[in-house]
Structure 1
Amino acid sequence: MTTGVVDSAAQKPQAAADSSRIGLIVPSSNITMETELPELFRRQSAATGHRYTFHSARATLKSVTKEELLAMVDKAADCAVAVSDADVDVIAYACLVAVMAQGPGAHVGSEEIIREAAAGNGMPAAVTSSAGALVRTLEAIGARNVAMVAPYMKPLTRMVSEYIEGAGFTVVDSTSLEVSDNLAVGCLDPGNLPAIARDLRHSEADAIILSACVQMPSLNAVQAVEDELGLPVITAATATTFEVLQALGHQPAISNAGRLLQGSLVAHAPTR
């Protein structure tokens, strides 16, 4: 199993000592990652005084099918070049299932492609992906058995489960919400997630993946589900946030988004 964020080949100064630039590569129909991540980092800023700005590149994706997901992967390098033009400190490849559709462990190669594209553009940056962040975060918190909520059709949810299990974990239960249109996924009500999570076989789990998708809104439910079930709760968005903070060498200090981002679930987020 791989560990850690793929680091940039060279260190770059930030635009200002109290500010960091975060690059995102997102599906064209994504309406969630650019709302949940800025909100999480707003809370981090409120606690620490450090500022974060976001700079995005988009790759075409409308329907969450394997064919469209693989077509999106082909655009990753071009998106990395475009977003690196903003001289970002870290790039997050924010489409979990596009990476996972390539097979177990694919995040390693995807992150390397993005890293090389940014470096080749003369703008090296640290790189993470939502797929890699999810499995590495599960390892960081010591979870072996997980229960999962995903918005996908059942075949894609099975593929995500196989990817997670290929990284050395056991998916003890999963729920498929069976929404194929990616824009519709972004309109799902996170208020429904506590009841959905309650119905999982969570007694067998070490952690809950409340949203195995960067497009499915979940931020407003993370703390409530964690408080109710008494288990660590992570999502594609919170795991990505955790690794972005790691890449920047910043200790998590985010409120009301679960213990992972409060900084109390992992003893120390290593400086990269």
Structure 2
Amino acid sequence: MMDENRTAKTAFSRLPFDVIAPQDQPLQLGLVTLETDLTIENEFRYFLGDGALSLIHTRIACDDQVTADNLTMMEDRFAEALSLFPPKYAFDAVGYGCTSASLLIGEDNVEKIIKSHVDAKHVTTPMTAVKRGLSKLGARNIGFLAPYISDISQKMCNDLSSAGFTVATAASFDEDRDSIVGCISPPAIMAAITAVANNAGTTSLDAIFVACTSLKCAPIIAEAEAILGIPVISSNSALAWDMARLTGLSVGAAGKGALYN
């Protein structure tokens, strides 16, 4: 009878294996996600999930209260967040998932910081991507919807104006907690988008931009466009689209809005 305190030794056979050759690897995308963001990863699966890619995430420490001071503090937290990507990993593109912080820290500065820590061919941010997307659609007169407090919303509208866009109508949920913004329901966002369009009055809008990666816009973009008859771009739809564009990633267009057509 075997001693109950002794464990039988299992014999293992060693089997051969292959590794994926570099030329057979899918496109390599990286995403720097806010500690408090409840939305962006799911929405990236929606916008890019039908493409041949590898998407690797890291989280960057941030405060739940969305203020200019708290957002800019993330500049000093990039190094730690980027160090948590796999060592010596080469990315075709890396996106930074914060619209307001990319504005306040500076789009070019974000790119410089990321490229100084990570091997990335391309870097983009929601602000960069949105401006590229609006230009691609030929949109100049836009409606603006954000969850932010007025100070941040105003800075964002000013930046869009400086880039050549006219913010014809704007609205905000005026909520400063990212954890709450991430729980705003898609029907509430849909109602707000409709209100922004209605507030334009006789002004003809070319598109509506919904700012913030925490807002759950993916389920309602196509419906909003069908009702309003104009493109609707969210921070996440724009960022995912721009990363696909920069890397040549082919993804489907169905249900994702005019930007993907």
TM-score class, shorter: 0.7 to 0.9
Partner of residue 221, structure 1 = 220
Q: Is the 8 A contact 1:73 1:99 kept in 2?
A: no
Q: Is the 8 A contact 2:62 2:71 kept in 1?
A: no
Partner of residue 135, structure 2 = 139
Partner of residue 17, structure 1 = 24
1: CA distance, partners of 2:146 / 2:109: 24
1:96 and 2:96 equivalent?
no
Moved over 6 A (4+): none
CA RMSD of aligned residues (A): 2.1
Give 5+ residue unaligned stretches, structure 1: 1-12, 265-272
1: CA distance, partners of 2:25 / 2:141: 39
2: CA distance, partners of 1:251 / 1:73: 32
- Bigger Rg over Cα: 2
What is the DSSP-based 3-state SS (H/G/I as helix, E as strand, rest coil) of the residue aligned with 1:227? helix
Q: Is the 8 A contact 1:96 1:214 kept in 2?
A: yes
What is the DSSP-based 3-state SS (H/G/I as helix, E as strand, rest coil) of the residue aligned with 1:125? strand
Partner of residue 152, structure 2 = 156
State how 1:74-223 maps to structure 2 within 5 Å: 74-83=76-85, 85=87, 86-102=89-105, 106-118=106-118, 123-200=119-196, 201-202=199-200, 203-209=203-209, 211-223=210-222
Q: TM-score, normalised by structure 2?
A: 0.83
* CA shift for structure 1 position 158: 1.1
Q: Is the 8 A contact 1:150 1:157 kept in 2?
A: yes
2: CA distance, partners of 1:177 / 1:155: 13
> CA, structure 1 residues 111+21, in 2 after alignment: closer, same or farther (shift >3 Å)?
same
- Indicate the larger mover: 149-158 or 243-252: 243-252
Partner of residue 4, structure 2 = none
Aligned-partner residue type, residue 256 of structure 2: A
Residue-by-residue CA offset, 1:231-259 (whole Å, 9 max, x unaligned): 01111001101111012112442321102
Q: Is the 8 A contact 1:41 1:52 kept in 2?
A: no
What is the DSSP-based 3-state SS (H/G/I as helix, E as strand, rest coil) of the residue aligned with 2:253? coil
1:236 and 2:230 equivalent?
no
Partner of residue 10, structure 1 = none
Q: Is the 8 A contact 1:84 1:124 kept in 2?
A: no
2: CA distance, partners of 1:171 / 1:99: 19
> CA, structure 1 residues 250+180, in 2 after alignment: closer, same or farther (shift >3 Å)?
same
2: CA distance, partners of 1:64 / 1:125: 30
2: CA distance, partners of 1:77 / 1:143: 36
Question: Percent sequence identity over matched residues?
Answer: 24
Q: TM-score, normalised by structure 1?
A: 0.80
Q: Is the 8 A contact 2:144 2:169 kept in 1?
A: yes
* CA shift for structure 1 position 188: 0.4
1: CA distance, partners of 2:23 / 2:37: 29
What is the DSSP-based 3-state SS (H/G/I as helix, E as strand, rest coil) of the residue aligned with 2:139? coil
> CA, structure 1 residues 61+22, in 2 after alignment: closer, same or farther (shift >3 Å)?
farther
1:248 and 2:247 equivalent?
yes
2: CA distance, partners of 1:84 / 1:68: 27
Partner of residue 56, structure 1 = 58
Partner of residue 37, structure 1 = 44
> CA, structure 1 residues 18+163, in 2 after alignment: closer, same or farther (shift >3 Å)?
same
Q: Is the 8 A contact 2:60 2:78 kept in 1?
A: no
Partner of residue 72, structure 1 = 74
Aligned-partner residue type, residue 111 of structure 2: E
Residue-by-residue CA offset, 1:87-112 (whole Å, 9 max, x unaligned): 3321101111012124xxx2122212
Aligned-partner residue type, residue 230 of structure 2: L
1: CA distance, partners of 2:141 / 2:43: 26
> CA, structure 1 residues 179+15, in 2 after alignment: closer, same or farther (shift >3 Å)?
farther
2: CA distance, partners of 1:81 / 1:109: 18
